[in-house]
């Protein structure tokens, strides 16, 4: 039996995830209908947990979901590498298909794939490329080409998306992403991050490329009633009790 009622500091799932039914349903509808989504809220309000929950519910043979976190990306090359690796790995469970897709769709970039003892968990890719050349469009088109090949749709969820605002010549990079992504027919994007002011600027400033890119969801704080029910339920799961009054203080 669990002895701690709550999990802190990491994305949660299952019984540790509370409320957000309306937001989950809205994400699912967007994922299933190919609608781009922008999710904006302050830190630690459950964005990542919400998206991961929706990803798990949406995943099927006809709808593949890719998730990547670009917090550690410091430039456009880092982004392209992380993007390509996530797309290749998460759209197939077979090593042979990863290699085939890399060879088929990224041949102009000469990808180098390193595989450890367990190819399912130990997998990395390096790309010989000039981030300013047109060859990198092959990377941005990778999910669309894989979707067409597999006869499915793909949703690409990118966490900490505000990092691209820190890249050198960021506006040019943003233009490149949008110019390719907005024409894709079988792929949609869910973009979210933990720095609200940067996310607001990226998607609400008319002079920037991602203005009005998709359905904007502004996550609201979870209501007190939902928090009280959740807190008391989690205490019961661990064999403990808490009064409504104390739970209200905790919420």
Segment 200-214, tens digit of pLDDT: 999 999 999 999 999
Q: Give mean pLDDT, residues 219-246.
A: 59
Segment 45-63, tens digit of pLDDT: 789 999 999 999 999 999 9
Same domain, 76 and 185: yes
Same domain, 216 and 232: no
Q: How many CA atoms lie within 13 A of 100 on its CB side?
A: 11
Residue 47, domain CATH:
3.40.50.300
Same domain, 216 and 228: no
Same domain, 78 and 63: yes
The distance of Cα 111 from the centroid of its chain, to the nearest Å, equals 23
The structure tokens listed for 168 are: 């050198």
Q: Give mean pLDDT, residues 151-173.
A: 98
Same domain, 151 and 251: no
Same domain, 157 and 216: yes
Domain count, the chain: 2
Instruction: Give percent of the chain above pLDDT 70.
Output: 79
Same domain, 36 and 123: yes
Check: CB of residue 143 under 8 Å from CB of residue 87.
yes
Same domain, 162 and 233: no
pLDDT for 17: 42
The closest of 222, 184, 220 to 39, measured between CA atoms, is 220
Segment 56-111, tens digit of pLDDT: 999 999 999 999 999 999 999 999 999 999 999 999 888 889 889 999 999 998 88
Rounded Cα gap, residues 66 and 89, in angstroms: 9
Buried b (16+ CB within 10 A) or exposed e, 180-199: bbeebebbbbbbbbbbbebb
Which residues constitute the domain of residue 139? 20-203+210-220
Q: Kindly state whether residue 10 falls inside one of the protein's structural domains.
A: no
Q: What is the DSSP letter of 219?
A: P
User: Which residue stretches of the chain are H helix?
Assistant: 21-32, 47-58, 76-90, 95-105, 137-140, 142-150, 170-181, 196-204, 224-237, 244-250
Q: Kindly state whether residue 89 falls inside one of the protein's structural domains.
A: yes
Which residue did the predictor score with more confidence, 27 or 5? 27
The structure tokens listed for 238 are: 């661990």
Q: Kindly state whether residue 106 falls inside one of the protein's structural domains.
A: yes
Q: Kindly state whether residue 172 falls inside one of the protein's structural domains.
A: yes
Same domain, 238 and 181: no
pTM of the model: 0.81
Q: Kindly state whether residue 109 falls inside one of the protein's structural domains.
A: yes
């Amino acid at each position: 039996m669990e002895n701690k009622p709550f999990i802190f500091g990491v994305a949660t799932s299952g019984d540790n995830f509370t409320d957000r039914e309306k937001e989950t349903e809205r994400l699912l509808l967007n994922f299933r209908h190919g609608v781009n989504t922008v999710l904006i809220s302050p830190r630690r309000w459950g964005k990542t947990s919400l998206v991961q929950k929706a990803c798990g519910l949406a995943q099927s043979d006809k709808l593949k979901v890719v998730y990547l976190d670009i917090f550690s990306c410091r430039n456009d090359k880092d982004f392209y590498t992380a993007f390509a690796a996530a797309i290749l790995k998460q759209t197939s469970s077979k090593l042979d298909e990863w290699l085939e897709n890399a060879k088929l769709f990224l041949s102009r970039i000469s990808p180098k794939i390193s595989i450890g003892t367990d190819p399912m968990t130990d997998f990395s890719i390096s790309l010989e490329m000039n981030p300013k050349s047109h060859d990198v469009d092959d990377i941005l088109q990778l999910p669309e080409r894989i979707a067409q090949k597999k006869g499915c749709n793909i949703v690409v969820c990118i966490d900490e998306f505000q990092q691209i605002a820190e890249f050198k010549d960021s506006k040019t990079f943003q233009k490149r992403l949008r110019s390719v992504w907005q024409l894709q027919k079988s792929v949609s994007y869910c973009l979210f991050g933990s720095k609200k002011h940067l996310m607001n600027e990226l998607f609400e400033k008319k002079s920037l490329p991602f203005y009005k890119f998709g359905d904007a969801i502004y996550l609201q704080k979870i209501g007190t009633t939902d928090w009280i029910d959740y807190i008391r339920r989690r205490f019961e799961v661990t064999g403990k009790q808490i009064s409504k009054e104390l739970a209200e203080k905790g919420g």
